[in-house]
């Protein structure tokens, strides 16, 4: 981890050359959810390929751009697409943008994902506000010699997702006529989807949804002192006794259909920064 500090400074220096804004929130947009950038009053758009130490996003439907501007008058930076462990990248590199948000001035991280539903009370197209997580990636972005400039050696994870912001998010959603679930997100490495036995196991250990992202970013956000709001769009149901083969195009289509609800929630949550 000792090389991260200088990389963060170099990345921030590059971004500052393209904007005078100090972001109050960083947003990471998952599969099929990139349309939120349409709500941003854009000041600058940077391709990941041009940003020092950013990775290339190879995932389906991920545009691979950092969008900088204002959402409802609040300065934000939004990642239009994210990086995944299954793409072959190291977790400390996948999560570097979170540290960049923090260094540039952000106080809140909003992270979204498309996921599979394990809780039989959920349905495709539902939204879940993440209240806790399980890390089954087989790795952790904090492994290595700790750099105390970035955060503590042993960050406490009793509240990875801010309880205050969970309740504020639920109130925002209800004002919009949206009624999300609250639940537990489990991250697995992928890229293959899970077997029926694995779905049973994940449900038995307490997970409500399963995906291949979000957990590393949240760990790093906690490490560097950011509050986190996590939002999952359930794109397919993973009930082991009623399973059917997953079709990526259908998953993306469900995410696209749910996107207006997600956009309304994110807009409202960011607006809460002004209250």
pLDDT tens digits, one per residue of 194-235: 999 999 999 999 999 999 999 999 999 999 999 999 999 999
Q: Where are the domains of the chain?
A: 4-274
Tokens of 219: 């760990």
Instruction: Sort strands 127-136 and 227-237 into parallel, antiparallel or unpaired.
Output: antiparallel
Could you identify the residue written with the tokens 């949240």?
218
Residue count of the chain: 275
Contact yes or no for 19/100 (Cβ under 8 A): no
CA 28, CA 43: separation in Å to the nearest integer?
18
Work out the mean pLDDT of the chain and round it to a whole number: 93
Q: Mark the ranges of the chain whose per-residue pLDDT is less than 70.
A: 31-32, 59-62
Burial class, 72, CB count within 10 angstroms (exposed 0-12 / middle 13-18 / buried 19+): middle
Place of tokens 């981890």: 1
| pLDDT (0 to 100) of residue 246 | 78
Instruction: Given CATH 2.30.33.40, say whether it is the number of domain 4-274.
Output: no
- The pLDDT score that the predictor gives to residue 36 is 82
How far lies 140's CA from each of 88, 143, 215, in Å?
A: 14, 6, 9
The answer to whether residues 129 and 170 touch, using CB atoms and an 8 Å cutoff, is yes
139's CB contacts (< 8 A; 6+ apart) are 85, 91
Residue 127 β-bridge partners: 233
What is the distance between the alpha carbons of residues 57 and 82, in angstroms, rounded to a whole number?
6
> Is residue 231 classed exposed, middle or buried when 0-12, 13-18 and 19+ CB atoms within 10 A define those classes?
buried
- pLDDT of 130 reads 98
pLDDT of residue 61: 54
Do residues 216 and 86 make contact, with C-beta atoms less than 8 angstroms apart? no
Residues 125-161 pLDDT 10s: 999 999 999 999 999 999 999 999 999 999 999 999 9
Helix (H, G, I), strand (E, B) or coil at 179: coil
Q: Pick the closest to residue 184 from 132, 136, 110 (CA basis).
A: 132
Written as six digits, the tokens of 127 are: 């939204």
């Amino acid at each position: 981890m000792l090389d991260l500090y200088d990389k963060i400074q170099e990345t921030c220096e590059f971004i500052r050359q393209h904007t005078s804004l100090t972001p109050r929130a960083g947003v990471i947009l998952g599969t099929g959810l990139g349309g939120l950038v349409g709500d941003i009053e854009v000041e600058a758009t940077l391709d990941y390929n041009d940003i020092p130490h950013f990775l290339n996003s190879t995932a389906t439907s991920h545009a691979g751009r950092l969008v900088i501007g204002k959402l409802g008058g609040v300065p934000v930076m939004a990642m239009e697409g994210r990086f995944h462990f299954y793409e072959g990248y190291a977790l400390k590199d996948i999560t570097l943008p979170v540290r960049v948000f923090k260094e540039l001035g952000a106080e809140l991280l909003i992270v979204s994902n498309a996921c599979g539903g394990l809780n039989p009370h959920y349905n495709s197209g539902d939204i879940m506000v993440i209240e806790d997580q399980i890390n089954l990636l087989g790795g952790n972005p904090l492994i290595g010699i700790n750099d105390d400039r970035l955060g503590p050696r042993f960050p406490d994870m009793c509240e990875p997702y801010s309880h205050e912001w969970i309740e504020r998010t639920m109130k925002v959603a209800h004002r919009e006529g949206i009624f999300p679930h609250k639940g537990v997100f489990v991250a697995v490495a992928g890229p293959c989807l899970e077997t029926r036995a694995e779905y049973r196991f994940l449900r038995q250990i307490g997970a409500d949804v399963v995906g291949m992202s979000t957990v590393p970013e949240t760990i790093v956000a906690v490490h560097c002192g950011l509050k986190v709001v996590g939002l999952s769009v359930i794109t397919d149901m993973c009930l082991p006794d009623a399973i059917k083969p997953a079709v990526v195009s259908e998953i993306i289509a469900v995410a696209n259909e749910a996107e207006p609800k997600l956009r309304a929630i994110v807009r409202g949550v960011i607006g809460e920064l002004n209250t």
